[in-house]
Amino acid sequence: PWVKPWGRARTGLGLPRNAATQRRYSGINILILWGGVIDRGFPSQNWLTFRQALSLGGNVRKGEHGTTIVHADRFVPKNEKQRADTDGDEPQAVPFLKRFTVFNVAQCDNLPEHLYAAGEPLPEREMVPQAEALIHATGADFRIGGERAFYMPGSDTIQVPPQPAFFHQIDYYRTCFHELGHWTGHPTRLARDLSGSFGSNTYAREELVALS
């Protein structure tokens, strides 16, 4: 049976920040977002809300799950203001938490290129020049990051985890070339049927093609 040849990569633990405003997150949100980066192998400490991704001309990929963070603040209820005015006291503010869902830029497409940059370079294993040259020669749009490997026909992009996430160097290149096999099925290339869902005959046939 197939065994996933990679685990969780790591990125430098700089402070996470909002990619749209450049403001760094604080408090418990730092730990929450660090956990997201470590658990899911994201190569970047940049995060966005769904609407911020849209405002920057990008989008969150379909099926991606966000990370919940919180904003702590205080407010003074109307009746407390009235009581304070009557008694001549200072109004007592009530603390509250507001929840937000954010997405790592590695979960987004079509954002400005500079937002995808990792905070610190990942330590790489030895590169294979011939393999790198072949990948580059295809002209395929490779996205490096996350903890999944797949080809997305809609955006015509390939996503693979960072090289250090793989247990063996050869498996990184095997995965790249496997996804390139799917890439050849795009309508502008060999126009194979890539619509099959997992477990279907169409899906199985396409996997055999990519494995050959």
List of E strands, the chain: 17-18, 46-49, 59-60, 67-75, 94-104, 108-109, 141-144, 150-152, 157-160
Burial of 191 (0-12, 13-18, 19+ CB in 10 A): exposed
Question: Which tens digits make up the pLDDT trace of 56-87?
Answer: 999 999 999 999 999 888 878 888 788 888 88
Claim: this prediction has a pTM higher than 0.75: no
| Comparison of pLDDT for 198 and 17, the residue scoring more | 17
Q: Which fold has domain 123-211?
A: Arc Repressor Mutant, subunit A (1.10.10)
Residue 96: pLDDT above 90? no
Report the DSSP pairing between strands 141-144 and 157-160.
Answer: parallel
Gyration radius (Cα) of the chain, Å: 23
Measured between alpha carbons, how far is 12 from 44 in angstroms, rounded to an integer?
A: 8
pLDDT digits (tens, 9 = 90+) for 18-46: 999 999 998 889 889 988 887 787 878 99
Specify the pLDDT at position 120: 54
Task: Give dist(CA 92, CA 158) in Å, integer.
Answer: 54
Confidence of residue 55 (pLDDT cuts 50, 70, 90): very high
Angstrom distance (rounded) from CA 9 to CA 20:
25
**For residues 145-182, b (16+ Cβ closer than 10 Å) or e, as one string?**
bbbebebbeeeebbbbbbbbbbeebebbbebbebbbbb
User: Which pLDDT score, from 0 to 100, does residue 8 have?
Assistant: 61
100 falls in which pLDDT band (50, 70, 90)?
Answer: very high
The answer to whether the beta carbons of residues 56 and 113 sit under 8 Å apart is no
Q: Where are the domains of the chain?
A: 17-109, 123-211
**Hey, how many other C-beta atoms are within 10 angstroms of the C-beta on 198?**
7
Summary mean pLDDT of the chain: 86
Which residue carries 């799917």 as its tokens? 182
Position 16 pLDDT exceeds 70: yes
Confidence of residue 12 (pLDDT cuts 50, 70, 90): low
Q: What is the pLDDT of residue 49?
A: 97
| Region 179-189 average pLDDT | 94
